Each structure stands twice: as structure tokens, then as C-alpha cells.
Structure 1
Amino acid sequence: MGDDESAAPVAFRRVGEGDFPVLGRWLAEPHVARWWNHETSMEAVARDFGASARGEEPSEDFLALVDGRAVGLVQRCRIADYAEDFAPIAALTEVPEGAAMLDYLIGAVADTGRGLGPAMVRAATDLVWRDFPDAPCVVIPVVAGNRASWRCLEKAGYRRVAEGEMEPDNPVDPPLHFVYRIDRPDR
């Protein structure tokens, strides 16, 4: 693959229990661990990703694939399905009924800086439009200090609609978050 893979098509497949070792490795990567602040033991990965893999909760986890190779993770849900996420976002900006939310990471540091993040987010947003026909928008809060993440959203066509304090995933971060949104193109 070339240095800029932003033109490479991104495909997705649901995360299964057999993917937990790769998720554990990715979560341990310093560029991921800094922002996700997640336990990386197989028990912790199984605990936190297992229910989604088994279809037992409303969120969905996907491996992002480029040329069949797993390069990242995308999580998707409807914001209203998770009150602990809905209330802090709704305190900063309007969250329309049916709004979706994504979270994402690029797994290996060697895959960062190649345009994969924006391509992955654009492709995941297209999946929201396809699979959630009543979703009017996708809303994503990002800790303000994670410049790479919010720049990724901007490159993927999202716009900043709010900023304010929310509980960060990593307690070392200040609470300032930027909230990004993209509206369904046919509305």
C-alpha cells in the first residue's frame, strides 16, 4: 500500500470474539491508550466488547478493513440508547431524536497519518445513513486535546457545533470537549 491510503475503499465487518486479541493489541498501542484509556487484558476486552459481539446491546463494533486488512475499530450507536452519553452531549448541543454517534481508532501506529482515519469515518458515516434511515445526524464529542481526532472529523466533513465540559475518558485530560456533527445529506 502507498503512503496515502485515503483513496482506498474501507469495508467493515462486525467484531467477533475471535477479534479480541487484535483489539487488545490495539488498545495497548501508546497512540490509542493515550485517548481510550482502556484495560487491555483479554478479560477486560471480552467484558467490554463481548456483549456487542454477541448482539446483546444496542451498540455495534466494526473492524475497518482496507484491502481485507484490519486497520481500525468503529463503534456505532444511537445516542439515546446510552443515557450516560446522551445527557452530557445534550447539555452542550441539540441532540435530535434518532441521532447516531461513532467512536473510532486506527490500530497500528504505522497506519496513522495516511488518511485512513477520515476515510474510515466517512465510510462509517455512510453506513449510518444506510442502516439507520431515520437518523438525522451523527454527533461525536471529542476531548479538545485530541487534535488528531477532531481534525480527522473535519477532514471527513463534520463541523464543530459546540464545546464545553464533559467527563474525559482519560482522567489526565481536562474536561473540555468539542462536539462535531454531520447532517444526513438528503435532509
Structure 2
Amino acid sequence: MAQDYAIRAMAAADLPLIRRWLGTPDVMRWWGEPDEQYALVSGDLAHPDMDQFIVAIDGRPFAYLQCYALSAWDHGFGRQPPATRGIDQFIGEPDMIGRGHGARFIRQFVEDLLRSAAPRVVTDPDPANARAVRAYEKAGFRRDRLVETPEGSALLMVSQPGDLP
């Protein structure tokens, strides 16, 4: 049976939680230095082209998700349809990793986004992050190609309305 995740807008009151999550080993491995990432995440809280969310299940927050207007950032993804959205996420609670939550909450979020207005949603995990790549594939993304981003090589993955079940 599918679980529904509560995905709510992040608020300034969530910043201590985000700071703690950024310091966990798995998040640090893929997101990088916690203080630098915290400055970026907290700095984007009021950015008009960035939507940030806290994901919870059964009342327990466990993940961060950001969704942004791709046109506002140059990621090296090449031409994309107007209004394409990009997403990034991490699971901050170590005991929630490896349980299938990532694929399920990403799918729930992306299906809502595609049904509402976005022509395409893209993401760019590190190609070495096999767990993230599998989660995105289970969430309905398909591999597109390797791209060079300001952070290094990434695997561009795409989901669009035709990919929905």
C-alpha cells in the first residue's frame, strides 16, 4: 500500500533541523561541506525561484526537497522546455535511508508537479551515487546523459508527463 507523505513548505524555524541533517555522514558524502551547504540552503529560503520543502511521514520530518525554476540557474543541462523545474533532495534521518522512502516521496512530489503545470522535471545526481540514481528511476525518471555542472560531472535524469503511469 502506498504511503502519502506530508510535504510542506520549509520555514525559517526548520533551519536548525536542516543544519543537523547537513552534518550527517550520508548527506555530507553527497552534498558536501555542511556550513557551505547550510549557507546556500538558508540563503535560498526567500529566493523567488526556489521552493523548499520538509518531507514527513506519520508526523516525523525526515527529508529535505528543493524545487527550482531551471531557468534561474545555469546547470549545464542544455536547452529544456520553458517552465522546466529542477529538484534535489536528501534524507536527513539516517534510519530512514534504504527503506524506499526516497523513491516514493519523490514520485509523489513529481507526479503532482507534472500534473499541475511543469512540462518536465530534471535532477542531476552524482553518477557514483547508485542509491540516488535507483531512487530516481523508481520515481519515474529516466537517464538522459552525463553533463558537466559547476559542481562536476552529473547524470541528467528527466521525468515528464508521458513518463507517468
In structure 2, which of residues 8, 22, 31 is the aligned counterpart of residue 36 of structure 1?
31
Following TM superposition, by how much is the alpha carbon of 1:178 offset from its aligned partner in structure 2, in angstroms?
Answer: 1.1
Runs of 4+ in 1 over 4 A off after TM superposition: none
Q: How many residues align?
A: 164
Q: Normalising to structure 1: TM-score of the pair?
A: 0.79
| Aligned partners of 2:114 and 2:160 also within 8 Å | no
Correspondence list, 1:161-180, <5 A: 161-168=144-151, 175-180=152-157
Please name the residue that 1:181 is paired with: 158
- Sequence identity, in percent? 26
Q: Normalising to structure 2: TM-score of the pair?
A: 0.88
**What's the C-alpha RMSD, in Å, of the aligned pairs?**
2.2
Taking the aligned partners of 2:33 and 2:113, their CA distance within structure 1 comes to 25
Taking the aligned partners of 2:96 and 2:134, their CA distance within structure 1 comes to 16
Taking the aligned partners of 1:141 and 1:153, their CA distance within structure 2 comes to 10
Mark the structure with the bigger radius of gyration: 1
For 2:4, give the aligned amino acid.
P
Cα 1:52–1:127, aligned 2, differ >3 Å: closer, same or farther? farther
For 1:12, give the aligned amino acid.
I
Following TM superposition, by how much is the alpha carbon of 1:72 offset from its aligned partner in structure 2, in angstroms?
Answer: 0.3
| Aligned partners of 2:121 and 2:160 also within 8 Å | yes
Cα 1:186–1:27, aligned 2, differ >3 Å: closer, same or farther? closer
1:8 corresponds to 2:3: yes
Taking the aligned partners of 1:101 and 1:124, their CA distance within structure 2 comes to 12
1:118 corresponds to 2:110: no
Following TM superposition, by how much is the alpha carbon of 1:157 offset from its aligned partner in structure 2, in angstroms?
Answer: 1.1
**1:162-182 superposed Cα distances (whole Å, 9 cap, x missing partner):** 1133333xxxxxx33211101
Following TM superposition, by how much is the alpha carbon of 1:51 offset from its aligned partner in structure 2, in angstroms?
Answer: 4.6
Cα 1:136–1:78, aligned 2, differ >3 Å: closer, same or farther? same
Q: Which moved more, 1:98-107 or 1:119-128?
A: 119-128
Listed as ranges, the gaps of 5+ residues in structure 1 are: 1-5, 169-174
